[in-house]
Structures are given as structure tokens and as C-alpha cells.
A and B are shown apart, each in its own frame.
Chain A
Amino acid sequence: MSSREVHDGPLVLDARGGGGGTLSLLGSELLTLFRRRRTWALLGALALIPILIAVAVRLSGGPPTGRGPAFLDQITNNGFFVGVTAILVAIPLFLPLTIGVVAGDAIAGEASHGTLRYLLIAPAGRIRLLLVKYLAAAVFCVAAPLTVVVVGTLIGWALFPIGPVTLLSGATVGIGDALLRLLAIAAYVTVSLLGMSAIGLFLSTLTTVPVGAMAATAILAVVSQIMDALPQLEWLHPWLFTHYWLGFGDLMREPVVWDSFADNAVLQAGYLVVFGALAVSRFLTKDVLS
């Protein structure tokens, strides 16, 4: 990767400094992450989703009621729904793909650059390095859905009228309330992606080929969604990390139904504990040769 100089520079120095502790390590890791051109390319691709949707609907005039993804037919009446539709479109594939890239790269990327050794010479400690890498991936999990809803709202505001929003229950709320709900949806999606990040981090400790870990993480997300659609595997559904991904619709009800938010958080925490522990064990016993 072209950004190698940027990549290993500040992180190694700060890690050697040691005194600043986990926070400064995290700071430099975030700086590295968001200085990379790849990260901006990923966020840019996500931002394109609402833009494409809004422009397409603007040009073609929108689908008849009940066709296309949910909420798409409401965009012409209210630009607010651009963000909601974009999140809905991005969840099955695009968001997991970007998370897969960031989480899968975490350890394997350093290993493939030959920088992992230097990171571990520093007194940072392996567990702390894992923690920092996970937290950086989590920050990306916040940034990715936020990009989609913010760009979606802006483009929706630019191209369509914006006004009071009709919720799924048929109740109508003001645009301020609706935007708060949109932020809650972004938070829901962030929580949804945390378990997957832990899986990506674990896969990343298994290999020195980052592309392998990235692809495996993204594929797992797709496989999990396919299994979630098979009625024969119904007993397994509540255990799949993708099971509640589309449950964010519950935030568009009146009164808001928080059950799926809570269930989702518990499920993702479970994945975080299991795969976090696996990653720690694997990383502590790993022979770091590069």
C-alpha cells in the first residue's frame, strides 16, 4: 500500500513513548486510520449511495407505492427518507464490506507490512494493541453509518422538500424529532456492526494476508444473512449476528419500540466477548515473525 510511510510512522513513535498510555496509542491509531486514502475512499463510496438514490429518484420521479425498497416511494414527498433508504440499501452489503476492510486489516495489515514486530517491541503489550485496534474499528463503525445518514439528509434537503415525517405507525412527527430518530438509527447500525468488527479482528490475527481476513469477514456477513433468510434454520436465527440488522425500523414507530435495540446490543456484546477472547488468545500465543 502506498501509504506505508504514513502508516507506521506516528504509531511506532507514540508506542515507544509509552507514557501516554492507551489513549495516546488510540489517538495515533485513529490518526493513522483517518489519514489513509483508503479510509476516505470507503467513506466516499458509502456517501455515494444516498447521492445516487436521491439523483435517480429526482430524475425518474420515484417508484409507485409499494415497489422497490421500503421508504423509497416516500422520498419525493420528503427528502428525510433519502437517509433512511440509503441506510436500508447499505446494510446488507456495503457497510459490512467497509467494516470487513477496516477490521480485517487491523492486525494482518501490520503483519504484512512488517510493522507488527516493532509495535510489539514497544511496551504497549499485545492486549493493549488489540484493544486499540478494536476501538479504532469501532470508531469507523460510528463514522460509516453517520456518513450515510448525514450525506443522505443533506442531499435530500437539497433536492426534495423536507417537512413533518410520517412514521410507520401513521403518526406524524416534526422534522427535529425525525432527525433525532435518524441519529438513533445510525447508532443502531453502529451497534449492529460491533460484533462483526470483533469477528474481523479475530480473523485478522489468524493470517498475515490482510485481503484474506477482509474477504472472510465480508463473506461471513453475507452467509449469515442468507442463513437468516432460510426458514429451515429458524432455531439458529436469534444467534446470527446479522439477525437484528434490519430491526432499526422499530425506531420509526410511535411509540418507539426499543426491544430490538436492546436484543441487538446483547447479541453484539456476546459476539464481542467470544471473538474478542478468541482474538486475545490467538494473538497472545501467536509467533510474530514479521
Chain B
Amino acid sequence: MRARDTGASRRLIRWIPAIAAPIAIGVGVVLVPMQANAAVDLPDLTPAELLEFAASSEVEALSGTIEQRSELGIPDLSGLTGTMGGGSTGGSGDLGQGDGDGGGGDAAASATDLDDLISLATGTHTAKVYLDGSNARLQVLDRLAERNVYLSEEGAWIYDSAEKAATHLTVDQAALDALEAEAQAHADEAREQLEAELGAPLPTPEQVLDEALAKLDQTTDVSVGTDGRVAGREVYELVLEPRDAETLIGEITVAIDGDTGVALAASVTARGADEPAFSVEFTDVSFEAPDASVFAFTPPEGTEVSEHVVPIPTAAELEQRKAQAEAESGGETPRPVVHGDGWSAVVELPAAAVGAAGFDGEAAAMLGSLTERVDGGRILSTSLVTVLITDDGRVLAGAVTADRLLDAAATGR
């Protein structure tokens, strides 16, 4: 009997490592983040002080990793869209049946754009950011592919490794400087005039901020939340909560680095939800200047390079355009209408404005599978924003419920 007992207990002892290993890992997984979040206590600030602190931030250089997450409640179509060849596949609604392959090149382009938009609105994306003075680079890390945006004083490069295409945007620096100088002169002139009229200097930035906050307070509850940690750094949390019960948005939080005042994270949470519907945050960040080679870009061989010069108008041309636009607006051009105000405002695009840029072919098919048929149109509902495309071609959008949109479409209020 005894021998058997010791045999059994020996067996049991030998299973200890197999049981202990997962437990140790589990404890580690729970404890490490807890440790990281423990005991952050920055000096207390009011929302106004925090905003002022953030505005006075003087960070010139940084490099870090950003993670963007979206849980908007749109179905993930990334697998689907890749396989959709022509324009006639999968059209599940009357939108898709409009004109089969009439669009040609334009339809393909708009489908890609829509695809990009949807891919941004679903899933997780990781990107590296580099910043040093006037040089900046955003490096979006896709699986086995990469998209880059390089910004420098000489212009901007956009490079897409999957498409093997580079776009070079340049501006005429002299024209830009001239425009800036003129704008500055105008601003100074206006300021002097105003000061002369008021008989006192203009309000300081702090006063402006206080006033803006007071105005914001009518619609939004602004507060400083509990201090936390983002990318291993101690941060303040600025919380904006809409007072309007009609909006879908529950709260917006911004994490501000307690040391440098740089915003390190932001998230939007839907009303009643626990997890943010949309969030961007640094997973690691360093405030040392990145190596200069990081910002260098020459398009590699075999790349399609398209050059664009962004035209900079002179001040006189701007005036002329403004006058022209004013003259035209008196006529037929439809303009977006805003119903309501604050957080539950609804924007309505009249039919004519959308008509020209309407979707067809593949884009329409995709739109058809994303939207839901309702009485009077099609609804695209996400956890934060709802879009209604009415049967007569108007588009209404807002951070409100579908019922509110339908109501606005019907009553025009």
C-alpha cells in the first residue's frame, strides 16, 4: 500500500512543472500591465491648465510607434474586396444594379478609395512616426507591404510598396512665403485697427482659451480624468463628454504626456460602450531626434513617379476667387445644409452635389453590401456615425441614430 502511495504522489509531483508553467505565464500576463499602470500621480491640473500646458508643448523631434484600432461595427470586407474582380460581382442592392460596367477607370479608382477608407475603419493598423523639425515621416506597416509619407521643406513624397507608385508633391516656396508675409501683414493691420477701436490690447491667449472653454461647457462636460500610462510614460487624461443625449458619442479622451505636453493617445467611445470604437495611441515613443537617413527618399528604380506641383495663388488671386465664389453661390450651386447644432448636428448634402461623384460599379456593390435598406433610402450605421442615402439622392450624416436622420430627411429639420 505504502509503496503505491509514494508512487502516486511522485507521479503527481512530476506533473507540477506542466501545471506551474501556464500559471506562471498567466500571472505574468496579468501582473505586468497592472504594475505598469500602478501609482501614476501627476500634479493636479484643471482642464484649462491642462490645455494650456499642451499648447505650450515644444517638442521638435520624436519617433515612435502608433497603433490605430477601429471597432465601428462595419463588417470586415478586407478578404472580400481583394477577390472582387469586375464591377458586377455581389451587388446585393439596387445601388449596385445601376450601371453594370459603365464606370470604367473612374469606378475602379473610387472602389480603391472606398476600399482604403473601409480598411482604415476596420481592424488594427500599426505605423511608425518620425519627426524632426520640418522633416516628418509616417510609415504605415502593412503585412509584407508598406505605405510611406515623407514631408520636408522641399515637398512631400507618398510611396506605396504594393502599387510600386510614388507621388511627389511640391510647392513653390517663394510664392508660399510671399502669401504668408501678406497674410501676416493683413493680420497685423486688422489687429492694430481693432486695438485702436477697442482702446485696449486684444485678449491674451489664456483669456481666449477660457472663453472657448466656457462656450464648450454649454454642450460638453470637460474634465481631467485619472492619470495613466501610455507607452510607458505618465499621462494626463482629458475627457470630453457630450451633454446632448441624442448623439451616439459617449466620450472622447485624449492622453497628454505629463512631461512634454504632447498628446500620446486619443479615443472615441460610443454611448454605452465599454471599449473605444476608435483609438489611436503611441505604443512606444522617444523624444530623441531620429537619424537623418530616416527622412531621405529617392524613388527606387521601376517605380511609377507622378509629379504634382501644388499651385499657390497670390493674395490678389485669392481675393478674386473669393469674390467669384460669392457670386456663384447666389446662383444654382447647392451647398451642404446643417440641421440642429452641437453634437447631434446632421449634415445634409443635396442631391446635385453628390450626383457627379456618385458611386458606380464595384464601389456601388460594396456600398450595397455595407448599407441596410430602410423605408426611404439606405442606411450605413456604425457605432459612432450614421449615414443615410435617401432614394432621391440626398446624403445625410451625423453622430446620431438612424431615426434622427430619417426624421431630418423627412422634415428638413
Residues of A bordering B, CB below 8 Å:
65-66, 70-71, 77, 88, 166, 168-172, 229, 231, 246-247, 249-250, 253, 255, 257, 259, 270, 273-274, 276-278, 280-282, 284-285
B128 at the A interface (CB under 8 A)? yes
B302 CB within 8 Å of chain A: yes
Partner of B18, one of A77, A166, A278: A278
Chain B residues within an 8 Å CB radius of A255? 291, 293-294
When distances are taken between beta carbons in the complex, the residues of chain B under 8 Å from A282 are: 18
Q: Across the interface, do B21 and A273 meet the contact criterion of CB distance under 8 Å?
A: yes
Q: Is the CB of B161 within 8 A of A170?
A: yes
Q: Which residues of B contact A284 (CB under 8 A)?
A: 14
CB distance from B116 to the nearest CB of A (A): 15
Residues of chain B whose beta carbon lies under 8 Å from any beta carbon of chain A: 11, 14-18, 20-22, 24-25, 65, 76, 79, 123, 128, 139, 141, 143-146, 148, 159, 161-164, 166, 291, 293-294, 296-303
Bound-state CA distance A45–B148 (Å) is 38
Instruction: Tell me if B65 and A259 are in contact (CB < 8 A).
Output: yes
**Could you tell me the distance between the alpha carbons of A170 and B297 in the complex, rounded to whole angstroms?**
7
Choice from B20, B161, B166 contacting A277 with Cβ under 8 Å: B20
B81 to chain A, nearest CB (A): 14
Q: In the bound complex, how far is the Cα of B163 from the Cα of A281, in angstroms? A: 52
Contact of B141 among A71, A253, A280 (CB under 8 A): A253
- For B301, the closest partner residue in chain A by CB is A166
Report, nearest first, the 5 A-B pairs whose CB atoms are least far apart. Answer: A281-B18, A277-B21, A166-B300, A277-B17, A249-B144
Report whether over half of chain A's contact residues are helix, strand or loop; otherwise say mixed: helix
* In the bound complex, CA of A277 to CA of B302 (Å): 52
Smallest CB separation, B264 vs chain A (Å): 18
A168 touches B14 (CB 8 A): no
Out of B25, B164, B291, B302, name the residue touching A270 (CB < 8 Å). B25
User: Do B128 and A170 touch (CB < 8 A)?
Assistant: no
- Distance between A56 CB and nearest chain B CB, rounded to angstroms: 20
> In the complex, which residues of chain B have a beta carbon less than 8 angstroms from the beta carbon of A77?
302
Q: List 16 A-B contacts (CB under 8 A).
A: A65-B163, A70-B145, A88-B144, A166-B300, A168-B144, A169-B148, A170-B161, A170-B300, A171-B300, A249-B143, A249-B144, A255-B293, A273-B21, A274-B25, A281-B16, A285-B11
Taken together as a complex, chains A and B put the C-alpha atoms of A169 and B148 apart, in Å, by: 7
Given the interface pairs A253-B139, A255-B294, A280-B17, the reply to whether A170 lies near B144 with Cβ below 8 Å is no
A249 to B161, CA, bound (A): 12
Residues of chain A within 8 A of B143, CB atoms compared: 246-247, 249
Name which residue of chain A comes closest to B160, CB basis. Answer: A170
| B163 partner residues in chain A, CB cutoff 8 A | 65-66
Across-interface contacts of A88 in B (CB, < 8 A): 144
Q: With A66-B162, A253-B146, A257-B141 known to touch, is A172 a contact of B300 (CB < 8 Å)?
A: yes
Q: How far is the CB of A10 from chain B (nearest CB, A)?
A: 30
Task: Tell me which residues across on chain B come within 8 A of A66, comparing CB atoms.
Answer: 162-163
- In chain A, what residue has the closest Cβ to B290? A255
B159: min CB distance to chain A, Å: 4
CA distance A284 to B219 in the complex (A): 68
Alpha-carbon distance A231/B76, docked complex (angstroms): 8
CB-nearest residue of chain A to B146: A168
| B146, A169: Cβ atoms closer than 8 Å | yes
Q: How far is the CA of A166 from the CA of B160 in the complex (A)?
A: 13
Q: What residues of A have a CB within 8 angstroms of the CB of B76 in the complex?
A: 231
Tell me, in angstroms, the Cα distance from A285 to B19 when the chains sit together.
14
For A259, the closest partner residue in chain B by CB is B65
Cα–Cα distance between A171 and B144 once the two chains are bound (Å)? 15
Contact assessment for B18 and A250 in the assembled complex, using a CB-CB cutoff below 8 Å: no
Beta-carbon contact of A70 and B25 below 8 Å: no
Residues from chain B with a CB closer than 8 A to the CB of A257 are: 128, 141
Evaluate contact between A65 and B15: CB separation under 8 angstroms.
no
Please give 12 more A-B residue pairs, beta carbons under 8 A apart, in addition to A170-B299, A172-B300: A170-B146, A171-B296, A229-B79, A246-B144, A249-B143, A249-B145, A253-B139, A255-B291, A255-B294, A273-B21, A277-B21, A284-B14
Nearest to B22 among chain A residues (CB) is A274
With CB as the reference atom, state the residue of chain B lying closest to A255.
B294
Q: Which residues of B contact A172 (CB under 8 A)?
A: 298, 300-301
